[in-house]
Every structure is written in structure tokens, then in C-alpha cells.
Amino acid sequence: MSTQSSVVTSATELRAYAPTADLTVSPPPSRIERARPRTGTSPDNLRTEPGPVRFIIISLAVTFLSVFVVLPLVVVFASAFSKGIGAYLVALAEPEALSAIKLTLLVAAISVTLNLVFGVIAAWAIAKFDFTGKTFLITLIDLPFSVSPVISGLVFVLLFGAQGFFGTWLQAHDIHILFAVPGIALATIFVTFPFVARALIPLMQEQGTQEEEAAISLGASGLQTFFRVTLPNIKWGLLYGVLLCNARAMGEFGAVSVVSGHIRGETNTMPLLVEILYNEYQFVASFAIASLLAMLALITLVVKTVLERRLDEGQEPRDH
């Protein structure tokens, strides 16, 4: 018994519409599912590399990952709980810690929401329309990825700082952007902008505009088309983008550090507080906050895996 194959046919006979004619519509070209060849030889013999080589390569990869990824994670949690769970909880209940958590959540909520809207709009424009300057726009979307976050923060200082471009005007109107929530949110938005758009553009390009055209020809308005056809088709990609955007928004350090001003209990986000506490030798408190960020990373990783699976499923049933 060398090869096994099974042919799946769905013998569906359809009556023809015409009352006079007796037509049959045959089923689609049947999908032939082939089982893998099962041969008498052991699977090991089919591999190209000899055992020792495989062993060395796999151990190298595992060692590398352990040292550079798993070990730091373990250290974070070990340090956080080094003085017992009581000390850990006390550290998290500090007003400074609570304020940092609140600020981080607030900034993430603002920047994810705005980037969701702008990301969808940008992806829509790029995927569904042809216009001059499209390539330029795609490059522009990637800009935050290629610029150092510190520079991104500095741009906002140059714009809104006391000596900045809008500085005098803002001071005259008593509007605080730098060293306040708006500045932190702006810097975060800038840094995290590409995530949603990047997740959606290839997806929307692949899906094309036919379903939208069909919806419009059936009488749907632009909004109906978006909410009933476009959005359901991109929802997993959108969630994927939002997830990564959120992870980066909560974890951003560089850009936020430049615009925050480090006012204790007011403009410190979680990553900033981790650094401050560490510099003050409050290791338990510092690693307690860090453990929250690490947990966020782990959750993100799990959800990301699930979403990627959904995305693959969404792509699959297409044959042209």
C-alpha cells in the first residue's frame, strides 16, 4: 500500500429552471484530496539532514530563545515577586503606580481609537482608489516605523514646546500639549499609526472592489456598503492591527519619554515609571509594573496567534 487517495464528489443534480427542458447542472470540478504517501520507510529516513546536525540546529535555536526571550521574562516575574506577593500588590497599589496605569490605559484608548479610524480611511483610500501620489502615501504611512521614536517625540517638542512653532500661541491661550496628556497621546498616535493601516492594506487590496461594486449596484449607500460589506470582510485584519497598535501604544517609551516631562503621578506612563523606579533602586515596584507590561505582551501574543488563524481561514475559500 503505497499511495492512498480519496475522491470527494458531491453528486448534486439540479433541476433546470426551464419547465420544458430537462437540464442538469453538474457539480463543480470535484476537489481531489490526496492523502500523503505512506511508505514503509520510517519518516526519519526521508529527512535530508542526519540526526546530529538536526539536534545541533534545534538546540541552538532553543538556547538562543531561552537566553534572550524566556530568561528575561522569568527574571521580570522573579524580581517582581522576590519579596512575596504582598509586596508585589502593595507596589501596584501605590498612587503613582495607579496613576501610571490609568494614564497608559487612557493614552492607549485615545491613540488606538484614532488610529483605527485613520488607519481604515488610509487603507481604504490606498486599496480601493487609484490616485496620483499613492506610492508616496504608502511610504509616508511607514515613516513612523523608520524614524527613531526619540525623534518622533522631539518633533512634537519643536512644534508645541515653549520655543516651538505653536508655542507662543498655545501659551497665550493657556493650552497645554507638551508635558500633558495631549502631547503623550499625540506622540503615541504618531508612533503607532502604521499598525492598523499596514494590517489592512494588503487584505483590502487582495479583496478588490467587486463586492463593494455589487453592493452599490444593489442600491446600497456608501455607508451601508462600508458597514455591511467592507467592514465584515476586514474585521479580523482590523482586530489584528488594533491588537498590535495597542501593544505598542502601551509599551512605547522613547517618544513618550521626550514629551512627557516625567511629572510624578501625572505624566508618567507605565514604561516611564518602570525606569524611574528602577533608577531609584525600588526593584520590586519597578518589576511589578514591568510584569504587567510583560503580561500584556503574552496576552497579545496569544490573541495574535488566534487572529492569524482566523485571517488564514478568511482567505482560504476563494477560487477564481
Partner 1 sequence: MTIEVKNIVKKFGSFAALDNVDLKVDQGELLALLGPSGSGKTTLLRIIAGLDWPDAGEVLIDGENALARGASERHVGFVFQHYALFRHMTVFENVAFGLRVQPRAIRKDEATIRARVKELLDLVQLDWLSDRYPSQLSGGQRQRIALARALAIEPRILLLDEPFGALDAKVRKELRQWLRSLHNEIHVTSIFVTHDQEEALEVANRVVVMDKGRIEQIGSPGEVYDNPATAFVHGFIGESIVLPVDVSGGSVRLGGRPLNIAANGAASGASKLFVRRHDMQIGPAGSGSLEGAVRHVRSFGPIQRAEVALSGGEGKTIIEIDAPRDRELQAGEIVSLQPRRYRIFAAQD
Binding mask 11-50 for partner 1 (x = CB under 8 A): -x-xxxxx-xx-xxxxxxx---------------------
C-alpha cell at 320: 477564481
> Crossing angle of helices 95-128/134-146, nearest 10°?
160
Nearer to partner 1, 16 or 53 (CB): 16
Binding mask 261-300 for partner 1 (x = CB under 8 A): ----------------------------------------
Nearer to partner 1, 48 or 217 (CB): 217
DSSP letter string over the chain? ----EEE---------SSSS-----PPPPPPEEEPPP--SS-HHHHSSS-HHHHHHHHHHHHHHHIIIIIHHHHHHHHHHTTTHHHHHHHHHHSHHHHHHHHHHHHHHHHHHHHHHHHHHHHHHHHHH---TTHHHHHHHHHHHHHS-HHHHHHHHHHHHSTTSTTHHHHHHTT---TTSHHHHHHHHHHHHTHHHHHHHHHHHHHH-SHHHHHHHHTT--HHHHIIIIIHHHHHHHHHHHHHHHHHHHHH--HHHHHHH---TTTT--HHHHHHHHHHTT-HHHHHHHHHHHHHHHHHHHHHHHHHHHHHHHHHSS---
Nearer to partner 1, 92 or 216 (CB): 216
Contact between residue 302 and residue 287 where contact means Cβ atoms under 8 Å apart: no
Give the residue, chosen from 57, 82, 221, 299, that forms a contact with partner 1 under the rule CB under 8 A.
221
Nearer to partner 1, 10 or 163 (CB): 10
Give the residue, chosen from 134, 176, 228, 309, that forms a contact with partner 1 under the rule CB under 8 A.
228
Which class for 79: exposed (0-12), middle (13-18), buried (19 or more C-beta within 10 A)?
A: middle
Binding mask 181-220 for partner 1 (x = CB under 8 A): -----------------------------xx-xxxxxxxx
Please tell me the count of residues contacting partner 1 according to CB under 8 A.
36
According to the binding rule CB under 8 A, does residue 232 interact with partner 1?
yes
Smallest distance from the beta carbon of 30 to partner 1, in angstroms?
10
Give the residue, chosen from 123, 229, 247, 259, that forms a contact with partner 1 under the rule CB under 8 A.
229
Of 122, 114, 242, nearest in space to 182 by CA: 114
Nearer to partner 1, 9 or 168 (CB): 9
Nearer to partner 1, 26 or 148 (CB): 26
Nearer to partner 1, 23 or 302 (CB): 23
According to the binding rule CB under 8 A, does residue 109 interact with partner 1?
no
Smallest distance from the beta carbon of 134 to partner 1, in angstroms?
15
Smallest distance from the beta carbon of 220 to partner 1, in angstroms?
4
Smallest distance from the beta carbon of 18 to partner 1, in angstroms?
3
Smallest distance from the beta carbon of 240 to partner 1, in angstroms?
16
Nearer to partner 1, 3 or 12 (CB): 12
Site residues (vs partner 1, CB under 8 A): 12, 14-18, 20-21, 23-29, 210-211, 213-221, 224, 228-229, 232-233, 316-320
